[in-house]
């Protein structure tokens, strides 16, 4: 029996799974926390990710593995010098200090559409190219030492292998790799600085089943971004909708052709198989629920019970959950707004409003996919992923507001997807074939309560959102 290791290095923690390379059966799992961050400045020492990986691997038990893959939070910036040393704390995807740089970059090419044509997406504060512009503008001495530009999963793979590599999925979230052309676009980096040898700074992009290197008898796979790994971990099919409630919220599907949204709401990413992963992201998901649990002075389990006990519509209480700024719509300086407060407000209503606000924000993202021309079929059964998927209140509100069946897959989809990639490299099989053979993406369905009139809650949220957007 051979085992593979899959790693999910997220904003808040590292989670690992060990699975049977042939059947996908779970034989071990572990978890370790990362240092907390708080936007607008959201930074971590990359070494803390490696330490968490070691701790999580120890927590998972002792089975030896023959292959491994690392998936990690997308975007961000890990800056190295010519000796391969980290020269400053890593900028994470949810660091919004580069928002002015994103706006400046968009202007340099004449608006969103040229960026969409060049790299499939419009730069926002999350993207690596925006953070490089921030570094160039604010820390010129550090920028002058910059010799390698890596993403979080690239850096962890480098620490394991000694090679500078990435994959097409994670590369597509940088703002300087073209999914449609399948290549780096150093000309876009020249907008930031036209004197640096960008070709020398960028890692090699490996194919879905290429090997990075062998270490201690284990094959190291290319790895990928967290959303790309999640798609593998649930065997996501074209048009099928996945909604992830993690630190951020993401809504995505798989497409056989590249997607370009001229308005820029849809990120036209590549996936980890050779297909494409159109995605819309919100900055505010579990961090909102965590914040309101803290304000109510309860743990998550109690918060979940309070939100379930709250009536649909939260008694007229409405939350616009832009606590850390927002990415969809692109309002990096935004803050949260609550409307409908009365003197008889209850804890249950507050908890329910928090969950409904997060879910309504995610449904805005789903609508952005549709408007962006992406074929989505939520009625086929929407997959609910991320830490928030474990909360019954999130499951219930999402099912009721979409009026569709919600499926919560077993396991940790990102870590599972990394296991799929590791097994695919080991067996030299297509990742989609491995995912199908492991029967992934199944779980307990949550059916909507069709007797509930959800229009009032959706309308109240839309009214508050539109009023806020009009005055921003």
> pLDDT per residue over 116-157, tens digit each?
999 999 999 999 999 999 999 999 999 999 999 999 999 999
Q: Judging by DSSP bridges, how do beta strands 67-72 and 90-91 pair with one another?
A: unpaired
CB atoms within 10 A of CB 424: 26
Three-state secondary-structure class, residue 223:
coil
Residue 367 backbone dihedrals phi, psi, to 5 degrees: -65, -35
Catalytically annotated residue among 226, 324, 364, 400 = 226
Which CATH number applies to 3-233? 3.30.420.40
**pLDDT for 470:** 84
* Token reading at 82: 């010519």
User: Is 221:68 a contact under the CB 8 Å cutoff?
Assistant: yes
* Token reading at 259: 């997607």
Catalytic (active site) residue 299: no
- First CA to last CA distance, the chain: 58
Residue showing tokens 């999580």: 56
How far apart CA 470 and CA 367 sit, in angstroms, is 19
Residues 6+ apart with CB under 8 A from 223: 7, 69, 70, 71, 72, 153, 154, 156, 157, 166, 167, 170, 212, 418, 421
Q: For residue range 232-271, what is the model confidence (pLDDT) as tens digits?
A: 999 999 999 999 999 889 999 999 999 988 888 899 999 9
Residue showing tokens 């309070």: 306
Residue showing tokens 């060990």: 18
- Where are the domains positioned within the chain? 3-233
**pLDDT for 381:** 82
**pLDDT for 411:** 85
**pLDDT for 109:** 96
**pLDDT for 160:** 96
**pLDDT for 231:** 96
- Positions of the chain with pLDDT lower than 50, given as ranges: none
């Amino acid at each position: 029996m051979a085992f593979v290791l899959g790693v999910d290095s997220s904003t808040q923690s590292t989670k690992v799974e060990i699975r049977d390379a042939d059947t996908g059966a779970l034989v071990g799992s572990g978890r370790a926390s990362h240092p907390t961050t708080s936007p607008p400045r959201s930074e971590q020492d990359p070494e803390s990710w490696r330490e968490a990986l070691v701790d999580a691997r120890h927590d998972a038990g002792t089975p030896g593995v023959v292959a491994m893959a690392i998936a990690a939070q997308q975007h961000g910036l890990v800056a190295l010098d010519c000796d391969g040393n980290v020269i400053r704390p890593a900028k994470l995807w949810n660091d919004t200090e580069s928002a002015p740089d994103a706006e400046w970059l968009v202007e340099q090419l004449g608006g969103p559409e040229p960026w969409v044509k060049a790299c499939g997406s419009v730069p926002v504060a999350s993207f690596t190219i925006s953070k490089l512009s921030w570094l160039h503008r604010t820390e010129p001495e550090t920028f002058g030492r910059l010799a390698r530009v890596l993403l979080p999963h690239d850096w962890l793979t480098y620490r394991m292998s000694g090679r500078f590599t990435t994959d097409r999925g994670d590369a597509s979230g940088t703002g300087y790799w073209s999914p449609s052309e399948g290549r780096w676009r150093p000309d876009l980096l020249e907008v930031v600085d036209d004197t640096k040898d960008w070709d020398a700074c960028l890692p090699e992009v490996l194919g879905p089943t290429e090997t990075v290197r062998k270490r201690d008898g284990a094959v190291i796979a290319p790895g990928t971004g967290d959303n790309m790994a999640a798609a593998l971990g649930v065997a996501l099919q074209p048009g099928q909708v996945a909604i992830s409630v993690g630190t951020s919220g993401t809504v995505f599907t798989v497409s056989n052709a590249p997607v370009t949204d001229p308005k820029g709401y849809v990120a036209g990413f590549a996936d980890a198989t050779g297909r494409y992963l159109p995605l819309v992201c919100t900055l505010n998901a579990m961090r909102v629920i965590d914040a309101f649990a803290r304000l109510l002075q309860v743990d998550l389990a109690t918060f979940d019970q309070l939100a379930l006990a709250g009536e649909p519509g939260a008694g007229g209480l409405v939350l616009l959950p832009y606590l850390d700024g927002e990415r969809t719509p692109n309002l990096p300086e935004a803050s949260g707004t609550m409307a409908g407060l009365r003197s008889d407000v209850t804890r249950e209503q507050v908890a329910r409003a928090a969950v409904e606000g997060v879910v309504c924000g995610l449904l805005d993202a789903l609508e952005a996919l549709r408007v962006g021309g992406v074929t989505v079929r939520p009625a086929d059964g929407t997959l609910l992923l991320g830490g928030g998927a474990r909360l019954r209140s999130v499951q219930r509100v999402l099912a009721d507001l979409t009026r569709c069946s919600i499926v919560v897959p077993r396991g940790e989809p990102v870590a599972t997807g990394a296991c799929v990639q590791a097994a695919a490299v080991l067996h030299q099989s297509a990742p989609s074939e491995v995912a199908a053979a492991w029967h992934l993406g199944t779980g307990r369905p949550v059916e909507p309560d069709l007797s509930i009139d959800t229009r009032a809650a959706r309308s109240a949220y839309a009214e508050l959102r539109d009023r806020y957007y009009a005055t921003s």
